[in-house]
A = this chain, B = another copy of it.
Amino acid sequence: MYVILVYDIGEKRVAKMLKHCRKYLNWIQNSVFEGEITEAKLKEMLMGARAIMNEDQDSVILFKSRNERWLDKEIIGVERSSIDNFL
């Protein structure tokens, strides 16, 4: 399945969350990730995310689509994923 993940995480936890999410998805903007993922890997990722985040303060939103073709993506301005390759 294709997912978009966006998070809003307290500063102290954000580096850890970034590293965690990049294991599973492509980083496309500051706090935004996308990619194809299996149901099993998604569960694993969310379990890890819950362990990192403070659920009273932080927020993770996940959009899931069975097919990437159902979504068009348009980027205006800087494309972060091109920067990502150098990190």
Contact = CB atoms under 8 A, between A and B. Distances in A.
Interface of A: 4, 6-8, 28-32, 46, 49-50, 53-67, 70-80
A4 B71 CA distance: 10
B63 A77 contact: no
Q: How many copies does the complex hold?
A: 2
A29 B59 contact: yes
B61 A32 contact: yes
Given A4-B4, A8-B30, A76 B64 contact: no
Contacts of A78: 8, 55-59
Contact of A72 (B29, B54, B59, B64): B64
B73 A61 contact: yes
